Structure 1
Amino acid sequence: MGEHVIKLPDVGEGVAEAELVEWHVKVGDLVREDAVLAAVMTDKATVEIPSPTDGEVLWLGAEIGETVAVGSPIVRLKVAGEGNTAVKEAPAEAKPAKGEMSRQNVPDLRAESAGKTASLVEVEPEPAPLERPVPRLPVSGPARDAGERPLAAPAVRLRAKEAGVDLRQVPGTGPAGRITHDDIDAFLARGRQVARPTGLAPNTAVEDVKVVGLRRKIAEKMALAKSRIPHITYVEEVDVTALEDLRAALNKEKAAGRPKLTLLPFLMRAMVRAISEQPALNAIYDDEAGVIHRHGGVHIGIATQTQSGLLVTVVHHAEARDIWDCAAEVARLSEAARDGTAKREELSGSTITITSLGAMGGVATTPVINHPEVAIIGVNKMMVRPVWDGTQFIPRKMMNLSSSFDHRVIDGWDAAVFIQRIKALLETPALIFVEG
C-alpha cells in the first residue's frame, strides 16, 4: 500500500489561492477515481476538485472557509501500489492511543500467577455510574385558588413567610404538588412573577454560522462599496401600462424558438439609449489611480439570486443586441448562475448593473453600487394604482425605479436626467425601437 497526496491544482486565470467552501468526503471514506473530493471558490467561480485515483481518505488539509495556496496538499489517500509519496511509518516507541494499553508493556499475568493459591482473573473496568438526571423545575404553572391550601413542609412555610412569599403563587414540583425549597428558589429567581399557564418559555439558543464562500465574498464586496462610494439614491415612478400592453402583444405573436419577454430587455434597451446621451454613467472609477474609465460597450450586470447567494451575471455588449437577443442572454445567464455552470467571464466585466426583486421589490429600495461601477438601476414591484388624468382617476400599472449613483463621479442633476430619460422611453416604448 502507498500514499497519494492531492494538491490544490492551478485553476487558471492566474489565481494563486482559493477558498475551501465544501468537503464532499471525510477521513475514512473510500473514493473512486474522478469522485469529487472538495469545492473551492476563486472570485465567485466555484471549482470542484476530483480524485485522480481510487483510495481511502487518510487526511484532509483544510477547514471550510480557509484559504489554500495553489500547490498545497489538501487530501492524502491510501492507495494500492506505491502512490506518489512515501508512507510515513509510525515510530516504534509511539505512545498508545488514549484509553488503550500497549500489549508490549503489559506483564504476563498468567505467568506471575503460577503456583499461587488465587488465580488472577481479567476484570472488565467497572462502568462509570450513570448520572441521575436532575429534574428541571417548571417555569410555568397556574396560581392556586384563594381558598386552596398549598402543600409544604413546616420549614418551607417558615422560609416563605420570612421571605414574604405567598405559597399559593408558587408551583410545586414535589409529590402531589408539594412545594420544596427548590421551588421557592425558582420563584425568587423569576423575580416573584406568577408563571403564566401558556407553556411559553424563552429560547436562549445561539447558532454560530461561519461566513464562507460566496456569502463572504458578497460581504466583502458590499463593505467595500459602502465604505468607498458615497451613494446618492434617486427614486422615480414610471407608468408602464403601455409597455406591459406591448410586451403581452409581442409575447403572443413571438416566433417559435424566441424567448418570453420580461420587463428587463426593454429596460436594458432603454438604458443603452440613455447611455448614448450620457456616457459618463457607463463607467468604472479607479479610485486608487483617480481615473474614470468610460466604456463604449454597454456591459450590463444582472443581479441574480441563487441558492448560494447573489451573483451578478453580465450581458456583454448590450448595445449590439435587440430586445429578443437581450431576453435570450438574460435567460441563459440566469440558468447558468443557478446551476453553477456560469463561466468566469460571464460573471465579470460589467459597466452598469440592474437589480430587481421582482414581485417582492417593495415600493422603494436603496441599491448598493456594484463597485467599481458608478451606477446601479433598481427595479421595484409593479402595482395597479389610481392615477389622476386631469378629469378622473384611472387604473394604471405603476412601477418605481430606485437607482443609486457614485456622487464622486455623478452629480444629482445628471442622475435625474438619466432616470428621466429612461422613464420617458419606458412610458412611450415605441421610442425604444426608433433609431437615431
Structure 2
Amino acid sequence: MARFTFRLPDIGEGIAEAEIVAWHVKVGDRVEEDQQVADMMTDKATVEMESPVSGVVVELAGEVGDQVAIGSALMVVETEDAVAEDAPVAAAPVAAAVEEQVEAETPGVPDVVEEKPSPLQGRGLGEGDSPQAPSPADVRLSPTLSPEGEREIRQVLASPAVRARAKDLGVDLADVKHDGQHVRHADLDAYLRYGSGQGYHAPHASRARDDEAVKVIGMRRRIAENMAAAKRAIPHFTYVDEIDVTALEAMRADLNANRGSRPKLTMLPFLIVAICRTLPDFPMLNARYDDEGGVVTRHGRVHMGMATQTDAGLTVPVIRDAQDMNVWQLASEIGRLAEAARTGKIKSEELQGGTITITSLGPLGGIATTPVINRPEVAIIGPNKIVERPVFVGDDIVRAKLMNLSISCDHRVVDGWDAASYVQALRKLLETPVLLFAD
C-alpha cells in the first residue's frame, strides 16, 4: 500500500489559490481514477477536480468555503501500488448557468426521491467516517403531489455521485430545481446557496420556516467581494432619463414578424447597437481604471459585458467587438453565450475583458435602477421596464411606450455633464431608430 498526495494543479488562469465549493467524496470513500472529487472556484469559473488515481481517501484539505493554494495538498489517497506524485491531473472547467435577462425562462418540473438522509458530517484532514459506497442506480421512483393534488409517480434522474452527495447533505432531490434531464452538481450547488425556496412548493400549504445560517461561499462570495470592492473604491453617481421607445418597439415588432430563421430580437441588441454608435464621442465611458497605477485606459473597441442573473448569482459574459455586429448578429451572440453558460460550456475568457456593461431586469425592471459598476470598468447602463402612458404631443394626447434608462459612472473618471450628455445621445438614436441603421 502507498499514499498518493493529490496537489491542486495550476488551472492556467494565473491564480494563486482556489476555493472549495463542494466535496464529492469523504474520508473513507473509495475513488476511481478520473472520478470527480471536488469543485474548486476561481475568480471566473468553477473547475471540477478529478482524481488522478484509484484508492481510498484518507485525508481532505479543509471544508467547503476554505481556500487552497496552488500546489498544496487537496486530497491524500491510499493506493494499492506506488504512484508518482506528478501523475496527470484532469480539471474540467464548468460555469454557472447564465440566463438572458430580457426574457424569462420557465423552470422545469422538480423530481423527487424516496428518502431524506442524515445531515452532512464535518470534514477535515484525517477526519471522517467510512460510509457505504453510493448505490449505482440512477433512477428511483417516489410519489409526489401534482399541481391538481393527485398522487403520481415521477422518475428521478441523477448520477450516483450526485445522489450520494445529496444523501450526505440531507437534501431531498425533490426540492432541487434543474433545467435538464438530470439533477447535476451545479443544480445542487445552487440549491445549497439559496435554500429550499427555489425548489418544489406544495400547492396549498403555507407554513413558517426555521431560521438557517447559510455560509457565503463560491459564486456568492465572489459576488460579495467584487460588489464590496466596487462600492468601497468607486465614488458612484447615477443619472436617469426617460426615453420614448414607441417607434423602436414598432420597428422591433416588424423585424421579428419577418425574421425568417433568424433569432428573435429583444430590446437588448438595439440598445447595444446604440451604445456602440455613441461611445466614440464619449471615450471616457468605454474605459477601465487602474486604481494602483492611476491610469485610465480608453478602449477603441467595445467588449460589452452583459450582466445576467442566474441561480448561482450574478455573472457577466462578454460580447467581443460588439461594435462590429448588427442586431441579428448580437441576438445570435447573446443566445450563444446564454446557452453555453446554461450547459456549462462557457469558456473562462468569455467571462472577462469587458470595457462597459449593460444590465437589465427585463420585465421586472421597475421605475429606475442604480446599478453597481463592474470594476475596473467606469460605467454601467441599466434599461428599465417599458410602460405605456399618455403623453402630450403638441395639443394632442397620444399613447406612448416609455422606458427609463439609468447610467452609473465612476466620478473619478466621468463627470455628471458627460453622463447626461451621453444619455441624451443615446436617447436621440433610440427615439429615432432608423438612425441605428444609417451609415
Conservation of the 8 A alpha-carbon contact between 1:304 and 1:334: no
Conservation of the 8 A alpha-carbon contact between 1:10 and 1:71: yes
What is the Cα deviation at residue 33 of structure 1? 2.1
**1:374 — aligned with what?**
378
**1:61 — aligned with what?**
61
Q: Deviations over 1:140-195 (max 9, x none)?
A: xxxxxxxxxxxxxxxxxxxxxxxxxxxxxxxxxxxxxxxxxxxxxxxxxxxxxxxx
- 1:325 aligned onto 2:332: no
Change (3 A) 1:202 1:399: closer
Decide which of 414, 420, 427 is 1:416's aligned counterpart: 420
Conservation of the 8 A alpha-carbon contact between 1:301 and 1:350: yes
What is the Cα deviation at residue 338 of structure 1? 3.2
Change (3 A) 1:202 1:375: closer
Separation (CA, whole Å) in 2 of partners of 1:73 and 1:288: 33
Secondary structure, counterpart of 1:9 in structure 2: coil
Letter in 1 for 2:26: K
**1:214 — aligned with what?**
219
Q: Which runs of 5 or more structure 2 residues have no equivalent in the other structure?
A: 86-206
Conservation of the 8 A alpha-carbon contact between 1:5 and 1:84: no
Q: Deviations over 1:81-112 (max 9, x none)?
A: 23457xxxxxxxxxxxxxxxxxxxxxxxxxxx
TM-score, normalised to structure 1's length? 0.70
**1:239 — aligned with what?**
244
**1:355 — aligned with what?**
359
Secondary structure, counterpart of 1:248 in structure 2: helix
What is the Cα deviation at residue 80 of structure 1? 2.7
Q: Which runs of 5 or more structure 1 residues have no equivalent in the other structure?
A: 86-200
Separation (CA, whole Å) in 2 of partners of 1:246 and 1:319: 21
Decide which of 403, 409, 432 is 2:407's aligned counterpart: 403
Secondary structure, counterpart of 2:77 in structure 1: strand
Secondary structure, counterpart of 1:279 in structure 2: coil
Point out the more displaced range, 64-73 or 262-271: 64-73
What is the Cα deviation at residue 56 of structure 1? 2.4
Separation (CA, whole Å) in 2 of partners of 1:10 and 1:291: 30
Separation (CA, whole Å) in 2 of partners of 1:293 and 1:31: 49
Separation (CA, whole Å) in 2 of partners of 1:231 and 1:73: 42
**1:151 — aligned with what?**
none
Separation (CA, whole Å) in 2 of partners of 1:304 and 1:35: 32
What is the Cα deviation at residue 349 of structure 1? 0.6
**1:35 — aligned with what?**
35
Residue pairs, 1:102-181, within 5 angstroms:
none
What is the Cα deviation at residue 14 of structure 1? 2.1
- 1:342 aligned onto 2:350: no
Separation (CA, whole Å) in 2 of partners of 1:228 and 1:432: 36
What is the Cα deviation at residue 202 of structure 1? 9.7
Decide which of 256, 274, 283 is 1:279's aligned counterpart: 283
Q: Which has the higher contact order (CA 8 A, sep 6+)?
A: 2
**2:231 — aligned with what?**
226
What is the Cα deviation at residue 28 of structure 1? 2.5
Change (3 A) 1:31 1:429: same
Secondary structure, counterpart of 1:281 in structure 2: coil
Q: Which has the larger radius of gyration?
A: 1
- 1:249 aligned onto 2:264: no
**1:316 — aligned with what?**
320
Count of matched residue positions in the alignment of Structure 1 and Structure 2: 319
What is the Cα deviation at residue 232 of structure 1? 1.2
Separation (CA, whole Å) in 2 of partners of 1:351 and 1:58: 46
